[in-house]
């Protein structure tokens, strides 16, 4: 009988009751392994296993709170050429479905809108304004589709065609306008249509990294330069507070009170561990081996960063996309924060 079995019987006798088979097996394995480890062995490699270094009770890490402050995308992303070509295909397919309806389903006969539609249809040869000229019916209707990359599938070309069509009536010089009952027969003046805002802003052209009006299709993150000249996310030493309240304090002390921000959640989204080359001895007598920064997620709703008079000694700031952040921060820092940042 081995040591494990003897121990199991002694425990069962003390308890005055039987022990289930699973408990017997667990106790037998545990004490048998302990007994085998205590037995001498001739294997020299096992006798000279170096002890595992355990951290001293006097060692510790400083705790800091960091904030990953982001501005979300403001516009939709640009379409892939394949997506643009497929969208154009769907538009033309929808037009084929609408063509069997008489135009009087949409316009009252001999109204100004009806007469204008007739003039324009003679010029563009198709009801749609922004998908190019083609014939949806007839012997050559099968040969009306466009290849990927055609200018008709480009969103900018479509916008220009829509504006061009809206700004004119379809009447050419020398054309006599048909009289419209109950309406003025004077020639309709061309009206200027307000154009949409450009997707590329002035800040993009100037590469103004301090502006929030750039990279409108991407998520931008706030980076600040600390006293050591390193680019990091805003952070400060953790005090007797929650991480959520600490994140709000860090943003206020670093970037001023002119930003309307929202701290998302109460749990950190990641952390960064920095080990000091020479441990620092604190006032309490502990050795501080480094610092661990726990990052909270936040969004900017309005306002702008202002480092004037900040309490953390920051000297500069930038709003950067993910790949731009990689080019500014240290390699070890990037390795810890890259999975916290969105690709778009």
pLDDT digits (tens, 9 = 90+) for 121-144: 777 666 666 676 666 666 766 666
- Joined tokens for residue 255: 């970037």
60 CB neighbour count, 10 Å cutoff:
16
In the chain, the largest separation of any two C-alpha atoms, in whole Å, equals: 118
Give the Cα separation of 24 and 12 in Å (integer): 9
Q: What is the mean pLDDT of the segment spanning 222-248?
A: 93
Tens digit of each residue's pLDDT (9 = 90 or more) over 40-94: 545 544 445 555 445 555 678 889 999 999 999 999 998 888 888 888 888 877 7
Q: Give the residue with greater pLDDT, 196 vs 320.
A: 320
Q: What is the pLDDT of residue 187?
A: 45
Give the Cα separation of 188 and 177 in Å (integer): 9
- Joined tokens for residue 267: 């749990």
Q: Give the CA distances from residue 314 to residues 172, 236, 250, 294, 321, in Å, rounded to whole numbers and listed in that order.
A: 65, 11, 12, 19, 20
Give the Cα separation of 323 and 181 in Å (integer): 63
- Contact between residue 343 and residue 240 where contact means Cβ atoms under 8 Å apart: no
Q: Which fold has domain 59-75+200-340?
A: Nucleoside Triphosphate Pyrophosphohydrolase (3.90.79)
Q: What is the pLDDT of residue 270?
A: 94
Q: What is the pLDDT of residue 323?
A: 95
Give the 3-state secondary structure of residue 230.
coil
Q: What is the mean pLDDT of the segment spanning 24-45?
A: 46
What's the length of the chain? 344
Minimum mean pLDDT range among 50-64, 150-164, 196-210: 50-64
Q: E-assigned strands of the chain? A: 59-71, 220-225, 231-232, 235-237, 259-264, 270-281, 287-303, 316-320
Look over the chain and give the mean of its residue pLDDT values, rounded to a whole number: 78
- Contact between residue 231 and residue 224 where contact means Cβ atoms under 8 Å apart: yes
Q: What is the pLDDT of residue 81?
A: 83
Q: Give the residue with greater pLDDT, 168 vs 321.
A: 321
Minimum mean pLDDT range among 34-38, 64-68, 283-287: 34-38
Q: What is the pLDDT of residue 30?
A: 45
**pLDDT above 50 (res 39):** no
- Joined tokens for residue 99: 């063509």
Give the Cα separation of 241 and 34 in Å (integer): 45
Tokens 């309005």 label which residue?
302
Minimum mean pLDDT range among 7-11, 142-146, 292-296, 307-311: 7-11
Q: Give the CA distances from residue 179 to residues 110, 112, 121, in Å, rounded to whole numbers and listed in that order.
A: 9, 9, 19
DSSP letter for 31, please. Answer: H
- Joined tokens for residue 139: 């012997």
Q: What is the pLDDT of residue 286?
A: 79
Tens digit of each residue's pLDDT (9 = 90 or more) over 84-97: 888 888 887 777 77
- What are the percentages of helix, strand and coil residues in the chain, rounded to 5? 35, 20, 45
Q: Give the CA distances from residue 166 to residues 15, 105, 170, 217, in Å, rounded to whole numbers and listed in that order.
A: 94, 21, 9, 28
Q: What is the pLDDT of residue 23?
A: 46
Q: What is the mean pLDDT of the segment spanning 304-309?
A: 91
Virtual CA dihedral for 208, 209, 211, 217, nearest 10 degrees?
100
Q: Give the CA distances from residue 151 to residues 142, 158, 161, 199, in Å, rounded to whole numbers and listed in that order.
A: 20, 9, 11, 18
Give the Cα separation of 298 and 255 in Å (integer): 13
Which residues, other chains included, contact 171 with Cβ-Cβ below 8 Å and sequence gap of 6+? 119, 177, 187, 188
Q: What is the mean pLDDT of the segment spanning 191-212?
A: 88
Q: What is the mean pLDDT of the segment spanning 254-264?
A: 92
Say if residue 158 is exposed, middle or buried (CB neighbours under 10 Å; 0-12, 13-18, 19+): buried
Q: What is the pLDDT of residue 34?
A: 43
- Contact between residue 74 and residue 218 where contact means Cβ atoms under 8 Å apart: no
Q: What is the pLDDT of residue 12?
A: 47
Q: Are strands 270-281 and 259-264 parallel, antiparallel or unpaired?
A: unpaired
DSSP letter for 304, please. Answer: -
Q: Give the residue with greater pLDDT, 199 vs 55.
A: 199
If phi over 0 gives left and psi between -120 and 50 gives alpha, with beta otherwise, what is residue 170? left
């Amino acid at each position: 009988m081995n040591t494990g079995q003897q121990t199991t019987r002694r425990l069962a006798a003390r308890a005055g009751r039987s022990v289930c088979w699973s408990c017997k097996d667990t106790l037998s394995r545990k004490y048998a392994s302990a007994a085998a480890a205590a037995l001498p062995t001739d294997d020299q490699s096992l006798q000279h296993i170096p002890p595992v270094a355990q951290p001293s009770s006097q060692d510790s890490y400083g705790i800091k709170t960091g904030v990953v402050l982001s501005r979300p995308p403001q516009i939709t992303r640009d379409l892939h050429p394949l997506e643009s070509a497929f969208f154009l295909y769907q538009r033309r397919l929808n037009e084929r479905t609408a063509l069997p309806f008489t135009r009087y389903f949409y316009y009252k006969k001999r109204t100004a809108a009806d007469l204008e539609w007739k003039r324009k249809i003679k010029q563009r040869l198709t009801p749609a304004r922004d998908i190019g000229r083609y014939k949806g019916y007839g012997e050559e209707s099968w040969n009306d589709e466009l290849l990927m990359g055609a200018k008709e599938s480009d969103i900018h070309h479509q916008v220009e065609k829509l504006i061009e069509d809206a700004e004119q009536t379809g009447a050419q010089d020398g054309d006599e306008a048909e009289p419209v009952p109950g309406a003025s027969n004077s020639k309709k003046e061309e009206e200027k249509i307000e154009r949409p805002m450009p997707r590329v802003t002035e800040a993009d052209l100037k590469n103004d990294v301090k502006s929030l009006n750039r990279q409108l299709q991407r998520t931008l993150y706030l980076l600040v330069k600390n006293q050591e000249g390193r680019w990091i996310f805003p952070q400060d030493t953790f005090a007797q507070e929650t991480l959520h309240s600490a994140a709000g304090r860090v943003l206020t002390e670093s970037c001023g009170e002119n930003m309307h921000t929202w701290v998302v959640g109460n749990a950190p989204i990641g952390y960064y561990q920095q080990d000091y080359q020479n441990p620092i001895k604190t006032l309490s007598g502990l050795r501080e081996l480094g610092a661990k920064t726990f990052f909270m997620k936040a969004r900017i709703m309005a306002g702008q960063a202002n480092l004037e008079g900040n309490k953390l000694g920051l000297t500069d700031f930038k709003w950067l996309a993910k790949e731009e952040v990689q080019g500014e921060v240290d390699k070890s820092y990037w390795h810890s924060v890259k999975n916290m940042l969105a690709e778009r």
